[in-house]
Amino acid sequence: MFYEFEIRTRNEEEIIDITKEIENIIEKSNVKEGIAHIFVPHATAGVILNESADPNIKIDFLKAIERIVPKRNNYLHDRIDSNAAAHIKSAFIGSSLTIPIKDGNLYLGTWQSIMFCEFDGPRSRRKIIVQVISN
C-alpha cells in the first residue's frame, strides 16, 4: 500500500517528528505484521530515527552535523544556488528508513521517533512517501 503526505517546514534547518503521521498510516493500512518503508524524495532533506522526548536532541543533532558539514565552505555547487551543504547533509543522513510492523504498530524502541530533517528550508511542501508491506 502506497501513501503520501506533505509537511511544511518553517526554518532553514529543522527536525520535525513525523511519527504520529506514520502511525496513522499504519492504522489505516490494517497491516498487522510487515514493514513500513519511509522515503523522502528530496535532495536537501532526510529522515532519521532518534529521540523526541527531549527537544534538545534536535538542537544538538543540527549543531553536530553543522560542525561536520559547515554551511559555507567554498563548495563549488554554491555558485549555482548556495545549498551545497544541504545536499551533502542529506546524503549523509539518508532519505529512507524501514521499520518493522508488529501487532499493527511500528516496532520502535522506547525512545525512538521518526524525524524529518530539513536542510534547505523553509519549504511550503515537503513530501513523505510511506510504503506499507504486509507479510
Strand partners, 51: 112
Predicted TM-score (pTM) of this structure: 0.96
- pLDDT score for 43: 98
Give residue for cell 524502541: 109
Question: Whats the size of the chain, residue-wise?
Answer: 135
User: Could you give the dihedral angle defined by the CA atoms of residues 43, 48, 51 and 53, in that order, rounded to the nearest 10 degrees?
Assistant: 50
Residue 99: domain span: 2-134
Q: What is the CATH number of the domain that holds 87?
A: 2.60.120.460
User: What CA–CA distances, in Å, run from 58 to 2, 20, 27, 37, 74?
Assistant: 29, 17, 27, 22, 26
**Block means of pLDDT (10 residues each) for the chain, length 135 residues?**
98 98 98 98 98 94 97 93 97 98 97 98 98 96
**Number of compact structural domains in the chain:** 1
- pLDDT score for 28: 97
DSSP per-residue string spanning 23-90: HHHHHHHT-SSEEEEEE---TTEEEEEEE-SSTHHHHHHHHHHHHHS-S-S--TTHHHHS-HHHHHHH
Stretch (H or E) spanning 9: none
